[in-house]
Amino acid sequence: MASAVRIVASAIAIALSAYSAHAAGDSTWVEHYRAAFAAHAAGDYAGFRSQLLSASRSLGDTPGINYNLACAAARLGDRAEALRRLEWFAASGLVRDAATDSDFVALWRDPAFVRAIHEDLVRETPAAVQRVTAFLGLAFDERLLRYHEEDLRLGDVAGHPRLHGVWEPVYQSSVGRWRTTFDAREIAELDRLLGPTLAALGYGAEALSA
């Protein structure tokens, strides 16, 4: 019994030592991450990239680091590196909306990059879906437009009412619905704060005033 207690105590000591070492390492990459985003906010994209690379030496090429290094590369005009990092990120299975990320403005008209805007997808669904499938090198299938008629098994969607829309046809009722949340003064302030960003994302002045 005593020997078993000693073994358990030793295992706990080893675990605590490992945790302490990991925590010490964490403080290093956290500091680099903070410095990276401070540099990004200041428009220092070379510094942004440098700090991310320092963090990657502790963490490895994680999906998050790859995505942010893609942002840095796009800002610095390195198209090949930006696309390579985005491909690595996509291979991880995670999803980010790079088409609305202003870090990638330089790539938005690149033939290796396609933007799919929500409003286009719900208002001009066939054309938008065909554009995406063509970009992916896939044959367009009409069943893509009738997904709601398929007997789709979507994990635990049934247990989350707010997700039940995935079983419905494409609908437009959510477009512009946010306008009912804000009054005219608030919309004017949003226009002041977000107008340039919305324009960069392909939305005209009507985005907030319509």
- What predicted TM-score, i.e. pTM, was given to this entire model? 0.54
Question: What is the C-alpha radius of gyration for the chain, rounded to an integer number of angstroms?
Answer: 23
In the chain, where does DSSP find H-type helix?
A: 2-41, 45-59, 63-75, 79-91, 118-123, 125-136, 184-200, 206-209
pLDDT, one tens digit per residue, over 131-186 is 888 888 889 998 888 887 777 777 777 777 777 777 777 777 777 777 778 888 88
Pick the CATH number of 28-113 from 1.25.40, 1.20.1530, 2.50.20, 3.40.1050: 1.25.40
Predicted confidence at residue 202, as pLDDT, reads 66
How many Å apart are CA 161 and CA 157, to the nearest integer? 7
Confidence of residue 41 (pLDDT cuts 50, 70, 90): very high
Domains of the chain, by residue range, sit at 28-113
Q: 63 or 118, which is more confident?
A: 63
Q: How many CB atoms lie within 10 A of CB 182?
A: 13
Q: How many CB atoms lie within 10 A of CB 7?
A: 10
How many Å apart are CA 178 and CA 174, to the nearest integer? 8
The answer to whether the CB of 148 falls within 8 A of the CB of 167 is: yes
The answer to whether the CB of 65 falls within 8 A of the CB of 59 is: yes
Q: What is the residue type of 172?
A: Q
pLDDT, one tens digit per residue, over 93-123 is 787 877 778 899 888 878 877 777 778 888 8
